[in-house]
Amino acid sequence: MPLVTIVGSGRVGTEIAKHILINDLADVVLIDIDPNKVRGEALDLTHMVAMLGIDRDVKPSTDYRDMSGSDVVVISAGIPRSPGMTREQLIYSNAGIVYNICKSISEYCPKAVVIIVTNPVDALTFIAWKATGFERERVMGFGSMLDSARMRSVIAKKLGVRVSKVSALVMGEHGEAMVCMFRYSYVDGTPVIALLSSEDMEEIRRTVRGLGAEIIRLRGYSSTHAPGVGVAMLVRAVLRDEKRVYPVTAILDGEYGYRGIPLAVPAVIGRRGIEKIIELELTDDERKELEQAAKKIVETIKQALPPELCADIALA
């Protein structure tokens, strides 16, 4: 029976658990430092699956030993982003949290695939890789998948077409340095660059970059519904060895000219985690944008880690 552990029973963690259970993907262990909160969330989720007639177990815990045997561990624990705060500012509080969680992952489920959701997700993916000591293929970050969905939605509304007809890709960083890949975004097979003016594309780029902050401004906390669905899609791809292509934060080892750097790139996701990184041909402008994203991520990493843990990083 497949088992998924979610560390962090906040809004995002419980939303992820909900979609894993609704889709009958795995039993769930929900871990949190707050014993009452995690038990309450687990009870509610248990009643949800009972209502649906789905035979899945939800176990609440405050003990990392209960993650033993997990096929996938999702980390959503940490301090959430507040209005007016950048994702990068979270590195000071969340680096230590993620590092300690990952040490427990390496001890209790050394064969698991790890998915990082906590922000700043790109830098924390690097920290998770270092802390677990896992192969780079088994550590990935969720972020650009959300940005790509946002870009897809904005393009669909701009062109007045169904979102199901649109595919979109965001690479680089989950933040202000994200790279909206218009040349690799399509409407029913037609490249969007043939349908949008340069002014339209700049407007879309600006809108997509600001949507996370806009959601926080409007309701007081960050995205939950979309990450819940998106992370569950990644979990499904791993557990069912789907070999689906999704944009995720991956530790590069020569791809796109970078080594030891976490960057959001399209990748094949399967049972071993990141089965293959897809290298797209880039224009000079796209490569410059990707370089800016890499530099920003490296700068964030170096704020949180001692120099010896950053020795593997090599910018293009």
The answer on pLDDT for 311 being more than 90 is no
Angle at which helix 198-219 crosses helix 144-159, to 10 degrees, equals 120
For the chain, the structural domain boundaries read 3-143
Q: CA nearest 112: which of 69, 71, 64?
A: 71
Structure tokens at 311: 């020795």
pLDDT of residue 92: 75
Q: CA nearest 232: which of 54, 15, 34?
A: 15
Q: In 92-230, at which residue ranges do the beta strands (DSSP E only) sit?
A: 113-116, 139-141, 166-167, 170-171, 179-180, 186-187, 190-191
The residue ranking higher by pLDDT, 301 or 186, is: 186
Q: Are 115 and 234 in contact (CB under 8 A)?
A: yes
pLDDT of residue 83: 62
Query: Which option is the CATH number for 3-143: 3.40.50.300, 3.40.140.10, 3.40.50.10860, 3.40.50.720?
Result: 3.40.50.720
pLDDT of residue 81: 58
Q: Confidence band (pLDDT; 50, 70, 90) for 89?
A: low
Condensed to tens digits (0 to 9), the pLDDT of residues 168-205 reads 999 999 999 999 999 999 999 999 999 999 999 999 99
Q: What is the residue-averaged pLDDT of the chain?
A: 93
The answer on pLDDT for 309 being more than 80 is no
Q: Work out the burial of residue 259: count CB atoms within 10 Å of its CB; fewer than 13 is exposed, 13-18 middle, 19 or more buried.
A: middle
pLDDT of residue 310: 60
3-state secondary structure of 270: strand
The answer on pLDDT for 308 being more than 80 is no
Write down the pTM of the prediction.
0.94
Distance from C-alpha of 175 to C-alpha of 70, rounded to nearest angstrom: 30
Mean pLDDT computed over 223-238: 97
Catalytically active residues, by annotation: 174
Distance from C-alpha of 154 to C-alpha of 158, rounded to nearest angstrom: 6
Structure tokens at 201: 């594309």
Q: Confidence band (pLDDT; 50, 70, 90) for 313?
A: low
Condensed to tens digits (0 to 9), the pLDDT of residues 116-157 reads 999 999 999 999 999 999 999 999 999 899 999 999 999 999
Q: Confidence band (pLDDT; 50, 70, 90) for 108?
A: very high
